[in-house]
Chains A and B, each alone.
Chain A
Amino acid sequence: MYDELIAALDAERVLQTPLALHVYGRDAGVYRGQPAVVVLPETTAEVVRVVEIANRHEVPVVARGAGTGLAAGAVATEGGIVLVTTKMNRIEEIDPDNRTALVGPGVINLDLSKAAEPYALHFAPDPSSQAACTIGGNVANNSGGPHCLAEGSTVNHVLALEVVLADGSVAMVGSAAPDPIGLDLRGLLVGSEGTLAIVTKILVRLLPNPPDVRTLLCSFDSIADAAATVSGIIAAGIVPAALEMMDQAITRAVENWLHAGLPTDATAILLAEVVGDTAAVEAEAKVMAEVAHAHHARDVRMAADDSERALLWKGRKAAFGAVAQAAPNYYLHDTVVPRTRLVETMAKVYEIGARHELQMLNVFHAGDGNLHPLMVFDASVPGMTEKVQQAADELVAACVAVGGVLSGEHGIGREKRDLMPLMFSATDLDAQARIKETFDPHNRFNPGKVLPTGARCFDLGASVPPGAWV
Chain B
Amino acid sequence: MSIRAARTEVASRALLGEGVETLHPSSIDEMAETLAEATAKKRHTLIWGGGTHQGIGYRVDPDLVIFTDHLARVIDWEPDDLTVVVEGGVKIADLEALLATRGQTAVLPEDPGGGTVGGMMAAGVSGFRRARYGPTRDRILEVQAVTGDGRIVKGGGRVVKNVTGYDLPRVVVGSFGSLGVIVSCCLKLWPTPRSTATLTIEPGRLVDVHRPLAVLSDRSSTKIYLGGTEAEVGNQVTRLGGETQNELVWPAVPYRTWAFSLRVPPQTAAGLIAGMPADADFIHQVGIGEITIAAPSSDGMAMLRSKAEAVGGALIVTRAADDGFDPWGTPPPTLDLQRKLIAAFDPQRVINPGRLPGRI
Q: Which residues of A are at the interface with B, using a C-beta cutoff of 8 A?
A: 97-99, 141-142, 144, 148, 152-153, 155-156, 160, 165, 171-173, 175-185, 187-188, 190-192, 196, 210-211, 231, 234-239, 276-280, 282-284, 287, 336-340, 365, 368-370, 403-412, 416, 420, 423-425, 427-432, 434-439, 450-451
Contacts and interface: CB of A to CB of B under 8 A. Distances in A.
Contacts of B152: 427
Contact of B153 (A179, A336, A431): A431
27 contacts: A98-B266, A152-B138, A177-B264, A177-B312, A181-B174, A181-B329, A182-B332, A183-B171, A183-B174, A188-B170, A188-B171, A191-B167, A238-B191, A276-B210, A276-B228, A279-B231, A280-B228, A336-B157, A340-B78, A403-B158, A404-B157, A405-B162, A407-B164, A410-B163, A416-B164, A430-B151, A431-B168
Interface residues of B, number: 88
Nearest to B287: A99
B204 to A, nearest CB: 16
Contacts of B313: 175, 177
B103 A237 contact: yes
B314 A187 contact: no
B194 A237 contact: yes
B267 interface: yes
B8 to A, nearest CB: 30
A336 B159 contact: yes
Contacts of B178: 183
B357 interface: yes
Contacts of B232: 276-277, 279-280, 283
Given A277-B210, A277-B235, A428-B155, A175 B163 contact: no
Given A187-B171, A420-B165, A428-B155, A438 B344 contact: yes
Contacts of A97: 267
A176 B344 contact: no
A435 B342 CA distance: 9
Contacts of B175: 183
Interface in B143-194: 147, 151-155, 157-168, 170-171, 173-175, 178-179, 190-194
A237 B193 contact: yes
A336 B186 CA distance: 15
A368 B155 contact: no
Contacts of B193: 237
Contacts of B174: 179-184
A409 B124 CA distance: 25
B234 interface: yes
Interface stretch (B39-47, B63-71, B93-101, B333-341): B333-341
B345 A409 contact: no
Nearest to A208: B210
Nearest to B285: A178
A177 B154 contact: no
Contacts of B331: 181-182
A103 to B, nearest CB: 17
A438 B337 CA distance: 7
Given A284-B229, A338-B81, A427-B152, A182 B357 contact: yes
A183 B80 contact: no
